[in-house]
Structure 1
């Protein structure tokens, strides 16, 4: 697939004027940034088993500040966690997921201006621990590092997709419910939208989205330029009707949500590799978007795929079906969509979104050492910033509940960290 030589055409508050005012010393001027990127600042959150846990993690999503040039938001996920049998270890069990407000300075440094912590409707900070049954549970069990089971959190969030509105509020998608949550400018929950059957409010997503694969939920969220429609993308295939039954391992779903009416539509996105990860979606227009599709590999260990695609939903088939409450969604040949091949779906006149490779990030930069490319900041009409998720600088292996996350699981000792890379077209 050819790399698209494209210009991002978009009228939005993120577009930076080409006018140069030499008299305004505070005017944002996009600095020249090396292909090795810029480190985001972090503090030390604490330690676990003598391993430094970083109060970074600002890479699960990114988006432009809707009014201020040179400023962007980047978001954490549920907090530091590592693999455990049947669930996750949470070395900082009460960590509150949050949004970081950042500025790219004219001298090429990144400055953190503020943090916005997510809170319940009453204003109490939430945690990133899993939801209880009936409120978006994935079945994951949360443990502390001693192995003790932690309590669930009705308002817990594994935040992954971020939208910043002109009125100062935020919309966030997550991997539990999956939920789409509306937060005030100070992080107080205003509304929580979840699939049918989850007890979080009256406005709903189609029931089939509750079939998400644990830790592979609604990874990306965008808003159309008119701020009327939310657009969410699932990281990977749904387990629909089950893990074994979902034979089409490249079929993923996009859902649109009309904020005023709560009406939804669904479209299919075809991944390049089985069980790949869609990590971000950013709107260029009402029908065109940028999508991050990636594997989970480090370049230090071999070949990697870190691609950004331009997609168009205008000619794709709406696969919502007629029953919003159907557990398995629209059926084709008497089977869930994920239980059909792409050939089966084409025979039923179902078209996925069109996609064109916009940039191969590894080739563009000459290297991309991180495993998780997850955030896009649309800077101006021909420039984007991309950010990786560093997992708070920790992970685990077969013998360690927690260890320092490096840029390769098999070689090297350099710690992973959030970095901003600038790509011009």
Structure 2
């Protein structure tokens, strides 16, 4: 099954293959016309079925599932894609030890799934790759310590007890503390290379981690100079990521030399007040010498989410920009249905944006070691919030250009809140994948099933959209 590729014999067009690792080549696959408009469901197993839904008082399923945080082509087989989970099922929770997250499966290991689209449009799972530390032990999805970007999230079990180093013994600050994991990842971005290895970006550090084909860590990049695991470093400004909104998307240049990451939302640079804006950052990192560059992206609405970035050419990329609403109301009911839900895919061009390293310094424009480029003593986030994008342009700083390629609500009546995976199949077909949150939701810290409407449980679904991705 995994060795079959169906090629369209009736026509031949110049298209992109996967992440455009080979540029424009001849490739097209027959399954693109057989995935139904409402999408094909990914297979899942049940992680837990014993918890009680806080709304129905009935048992509900926590599913695995969860393969929707990122998506990318298998560069070596045209009808296969990889998909990434995040840290595992979780929900906001405040307990005896402060604000944090409830982890109903605290032992969950983040993973990469390989999926195959059959000629009839159905999807099968080929394998699951569990992510591991350099010595081969399994990582967790538990938060990092504060030294490596942790924001003080306390992990709790579903019964409200804290996750401890040894859960069989009582909490002790020194002898049996709350369990944190500096290898823990909340993965959100995924790149698959032709050599079989992967890069994963996350929301914790943010960290960018290189894994071999078996999921074992072989390299790491983040913004923390004291992290001896690093091969290269991100600019220090990325330490100011907003909690739960870190490096949400990751791509790589066609020649596989340069990673391109995008932050989900405006960073807390320098404080929480700054995060309520529409300025997000894109960073490029050369894997040969570690050199980085930054660009700005202007969102349509403040506090939107950039949930994915995928390669078209060396300078052109597709970017998801979305809000958090449900077309049909979701778990909050029909009264919260939003016909104006925003689930967009934009094409951007890095060559049209201002490389931040090129901005000339002056008495007005300075550079801070922690907060990056400053204008009149304000971070770029603060300055944009206060004075607007026209004022930024007057200072010689422009965001990358963007053009709407797909409106998923108009295209398929997209019912999900989260749109987080993009798969460039060819120049006219794009795979889109939602994050189903392991079919888990919470209201005021109480766990429940995640519904799209009054009866439909959210699940990972692959949609394939026919569109002119290159704008030709």
Asked whether the two chains share a fold, i.e. TM above 0.5, the reply is yes
8 Å Cα contact 2:15-2:27 kept in structure 1: no
8 Å Cα contact 1:136-1:198 kept in structure 2: no
Match of 1:329 in 2: 372
Per-residue CA deviations over 1:98-150 (Å, capped at 9, x if unaligned) read: 00000000011000000001000000011100011212312211111122222
1:238 paired to 2:267: yes
1:166 paired to 2:208: no
Match of 1:384 in 2: 430
Alpha-carbon shift at residue 40 of structure 1 (Å)? 0.5
Alpha-carbon shift at residue 324 of structure 1 (Å)? 8.7
State the Cα RMSD in Å. 2.0
Secondary structure (helix, strand or coil) at the match of 1:225 reads: coil
1:404 paired to 2:436: no
8 Å Cα contact 1:298-1:369 kept in structure 2: yes
8 Å Cα contact 2:16-2:24 kept in structure 1: no
Per-residue CA deviations over 1:185-214 (Å, capped at 9, x if unaligned) read: 000001111113452425210000010000
8 Å Cα contact 2:222-2:234 kept in structure 1: yes
1:45 paired to 2:92: no
Secondary structure (helix, strand or coil) at the match of 1:161 reads: strand
TM-score (norm 1): 0.91
Q: Call closer, same or farther: CA 1:214–1:198 in 2, change over 3 Å.
A: farther
Distance of 1:143 and 1:253 partners within structure 2: 32
Secondary structure (helix, strand or coil) at the match of 1:147 reads: coil
Which one of the candidate residues 89, 92, 97 is aligned to 1:83?
92
Alpha-carbon shift at residue 28 of structure 1 (Å)? 5.7
Distance of 1:311 and 1:239 partners within structure 2: 24
Match of 1:30 in 2: 32
Q: Call closer, same or farther: CA 1:388–1:245 in 2, change over 3 Å.
A: closer
Secondary structure (helix, strand or coil) at the match of 1:340 reads: helix
Match of 1:293 in 2: 321
1:143 paired to 2:156: yes
8 Å Cα contact 2:35-2:120 kept in structure 1: no
8 Å Cα contact 1:14-1:69 kept in structure 2: no
1:265 paired to 2:293: yes
Q: Call closer, same or farther: CA 1:241–1:91 in 2, change over 3 Å.
A: same
8 Å Cα contact 1:228-1:259 kept in structure 2: yes
Secondary structure (helix, strand or coil) at the match of 2:262 reads: strand
Which one of the candidate residues 326, 338, 353 is aligned to 1:316?
353
Higher helix share: 2
Per-residue CA deviations over 1:326-378 (Å, capped at 9, x if unaligned) read: 1111111221100112232111010110001111111112x111000100011
8 Å Cα contact 1:222-1:230 kept in structure 2: yes
Distance of 1:124 and 1:193 partners within structure 2: 20
Aligned pairs for 1:180-199 within 5 A: 180-197=208-225, 199=227
Secondary structure (helix, strand or coil) at the match of 1:345 reads: helix
Per-residue CA deviations over 1:68-101 (Å, capped at 9, x if unaligned) read: 0100001101000011132110000010000000
Q: Call closer, same or farther: CA 1:13–1:40 in 2, change over 3 Å.
A: farther
Report how many residues are paired: 406
8 Å Cα contact 2:32-2:429 kept in structure 1: no
Residues 114-123 or 238-247, more deviating: 238-247
Secondary structure (helix, strand or coil) at the match of 1:290 reads: strand
1:306 paired to 2:343: yes
TM-score (norm 2): 0.82
Q: Which structure 1 residue ranges, 5 or more long, are not aligned?
A: 1-6, 20-26
Alpha-carbon shift at residue 30 of structure 1 (Å)? 3.4
Q: Call closer, same or farther: CA 1:419–1:29 in 2, change over 3 Å.
A: closer
Secondary structure (helix, strand or coil) at the match of 1:134 reads: helix
1:214 paired to 2:246: no
Match of 1:417 in 2: 459
Per-residue CA deviations over 1:36-78 (Å, capped at 9, x if unaligned) read: 1100000111133433110110010000000101000011010
